[in-house]
Structure 1
Amino acid sequence: MTLSPDRLDRFARHIVLPEVGGAGQVALTQAHVVLVGCGGIGSPALQYLAGAGVGRLTLIDDDTVDASNLQRQTIFTPADIGRPKAEAAAEWVARFDPQIEARAVIMRLGGDNAARVLRGDVSVVVDGCDNFATRLIVSDTCTALSMPLTSAALGRFQGQVANFAGHLPGQACYRCWVGDAFDAEDCDTCSADGVLGAMVGMVGAFAAMSAIRVILEGKAALGDPQWGQLQLFDGLAPSMRTIGVPKDPECRGCNPA
Structure 2
Amino acid sequence: MSDLSLDATQLDRYSRHIIMDGVGPAGQGSLLDARVLVVGAGGLGAPTIQYLAAAGVGRLGIVDDDVVERSNLQRQIVHGDDDVGEKKVDSAARFVEQLNPDVTVEPHDERLGPDNVRSLVDDYDFVVDGSDNFRTRYLVNDACTLAGIPFSHGAIYRFEGQVTTFEGESPCYRCLFPEAPPAGTVPDCATTGVLGMLPGVIGTIQATETVKSLMDIGERLDGRLLSYDALAMSFEELPLRADPDCPVCAESGIDSIEDVEYAGSCAVAD
Q: Provide TM-score, normalisation by structure 1.
A: 0.92
Partners of 1:71 and 1:215 lie apart in 2 by: 30
Which residue does the alignment assign to 1:198?
197
CA distance in 2, matches of 1:47, 1:186: 32
- Partners of 1:185 and 1:43 lie apart in 2 by 26
Q: Which residue of 1 aligns with 2:261?
A: none
8 Å Cα contact 2:131/2:137 also seen in 1: yes
d(CA) in 2 for partners of 1:32, 1:159? 26
Q: Aligned-pair distance for 1:230?
A: 1.1
Name the SS for the 1:29 alignment partner: helix
Amino acid paired to 2:100: D
Q: Is 2:225 aligned against 1:230?
A: yes
Q: CA deviation at 1:134?
A: 0.7
**1:169-189 CA-partner distances (Å, limit 9, x unpaired):** xx2111111221338586321
Q: Which amino acid aligns with 1:199?
A: L
Count, aligned residues: 249
Q: Which residue of 1 aligns with 2:60?
A: 57
Paired amino acid for 1:126: V
Match of 1:94 among 97, 100, 111: 97
How far apart in 1 are the matches of 2:180 and 2:97?
40
Amino acid at match of 2:227: L
Q: Could you tell me whether the CA contact under 8 Å between 2:31 and 2:57 is conserved in 1?
A: yes
> Are the equivalent residues in 2 in contact too, given 1:70–1:78 (CA < 8 A)?
yes
SS in 2 for 1:241: strand
Confirm or deny: 8 A CA contact 1:154 1:160 kept in the other structure.
yes
Deviations 1:53-98 (A, max 9, x none): 1110000001110000000111111111111111111111111112
Q: Distance in 2 between matches of 1:33 and 1:186?
A: 32
Residue of structure 2 aligned with 1:165, choices 167, 174, 177: 167
Q: How big is the alpha-carbon RMSD for the aligned residues of Structure 1 and Structure 2? A: 1.5
SS at match of 2:197: helix
**1:227 Cα shift?**
1.2
Cα displacement string for residues 191-224 of structure 1 (whole angstroms, at most 9, x for unaligned residues)? 111111111111111110011111111xxxx343
Alpha-carbon contact 2:36-2:61 (below 8 Å) kept? yes
1:36–1:127 CA contact under 8 A, matched in 2: yes
Q: For residues 129-170 of structure 1, what are the alpha-carbon distances to aligned partners after superposition, in whole Å with 9 as ceiling and x for unaligned?
A: 00011101110000111100111111011111111124x4xx
Give the match for residue 213 of structure 1: 212
Residue identity matched to 2:188: T
Decide which of 1, 4, 7 is 2:7's aligned counterpart. 4
Report the Cα distance in structure 1 between the residues aligned to 2:44 and 2:208, rounded to whole angstroms. Answer: 13
What residue in structure 1 maps to residue 260 of structure 2? none
Aligned-pair identity in percent equals 41
In the alignment, is the contact (CA less than 8 A) between 1:41 and 1:152 conserved in 2? yes
1:136 aligns with 2:138: yes
Q: Which runs of 4+ in 1 moved over 3 A?
A: 181-187
Structure 1 contact 133–185 (Cα < 8 Å) conserved? no
Unaligned 5+ runs, structure 1: none
Residues 1:13 and 2:8 are matched in the alignment: no
Structure 2 distance, partners of 1:139, 1:123, is: 14
Mapped to 1, the partners of 2:85 and 2:7 lie a distance apart of 38
Query: 2:55 and 2:203 mapped to 1: Cα distance?
Result: 14
Check conservation: 1:132, 1:183, Cα contact below 8 A.
no
| Structure 2: gaps of 5 or more residues | 254-270
Report if aligned partners of 1:132, 1:187 keep a CA contact under 8 Å in 2. Answer: no
Separation (CA, whole Å) in 2 of partners of 1:208 and 1:18:
19
When normalised by structure 2's length, the TM-score is 0.88
- 1:11 maps to a residue whose letter is Y
